[in-house]
Amino acid sequence: MSCANWETLLAQLQQTEVFQGLSMGALRTLSAHTEAITIAGNTSLLSPSKANHYLYILLQGEMRVVHGPSESVPIAILKPGSCCGELSWLEEQNPCAYVISNGTCELLRLDQGALNDLIQASPQLCLNLLRLLSARLRLSNQSLQNSERHANIDSLTGLFNRRRLEDIYERESGRCGYDNLPLNLLILDVDFFKDYNDQHGHIAGDFALMLVADILRRELRPTDSIARFGGEEFVILLPELSARESTSVGKRLRKRLASTTEFHCPMGTLPGVTASIGIAQMRTGDSLISLISRADRALYRAKEGGRNRLCRA
């Protein structure tokens, strides 16, 4: 890079996240070890399959950071002034994600050796890198938390899904069994849900399921666990409630749903739904499946008896 071109970049580099606050003299030491590059759109700059020995500063354009090259939702978007590649050259390991250009991008590529010398001579650069790596770690933790949350939550209703229910049952069955406390399971099935979808449409059916989820959340205790088990079925764990108490809860839920004859949603006013409910109490040695099976048989009796009613196993 020519001296004239390099000098025009110094002021710009001093505003980047990694070189902010460094003196002109310190930055000039990098001129012989820096190269300006241009990459076309949708080009992979960094990849977990290739070693990296450079720090890249994005001057113009936009780049996305993704776990896989075909992923549409990025972990992060890099704008001018951002850097990438710092983790891989600091650790001397392959990158942990893909960095791909969203369009034509102009970057500076800085050699690892010159950067290592500058790090030893510049406390400010060390501080900048520490802040940068802390931000990267925070972003990674947030991405992990979001992934775990999405893996455990039903996207339509916001309730737990079956996978999370299995984890909760392991915990609650062990705790209640150890303390000799009752644990009841309630399975709720929306009545005539196929007919509801056929008459009002599947989007209306989705809003009806969200209505059920909202009523369950408002009517139950924080210590109760609610999951959408699949389709129009919901499973509820009621720890520390006796058979009589859990039956009372089930009756209250059934009545609350039946009394909601209509509700408002973005589609307008829609009719409410009723539900049939089966309840079973945990026995010694019960798995989640065996407990659900008994509650499901009680649910079947409720349906056979005319629906919109509750039966115990």
Query: Pick the catalytic residue: 17, 35, 148, 232?
Result: 232
Judge whether 92 counts as a catalytic residue: no
- Sole residue written with tokens 């983790």: 87
* Positive or negative torsion for Cα 70, 73, 74, 75: negative
Torsion of CA 293, 298, 301, 303, to 10 degrees: -80
- Chain centroid to Cα 202, Å, comes to 25
CA separation for the pair 51, 177 (Å, rounded): 53
Q: Residue 140: in which H helix or E strand, if any? A: helix 123-152
183 in Cβ contact with 174 (< 8 Å): no
User: For residue 234, which phi and psi values (nearest 5 degrees)?
Assistant: -125, 140
CA separation for the pair 110, 1 (Å, rounded): 12
Per the DSSP assignment, residues forming a β-bridge with 155 are none
Beta strands in the chain (DSSP E): 34-39, 44-46, 54-60, 63-66, 76-78, 83-84, 98-101, 105-111, 183-190, 225-230, 233-239, 262-265, 268-271, 275-281, 310-312
Catalytic residues: 232
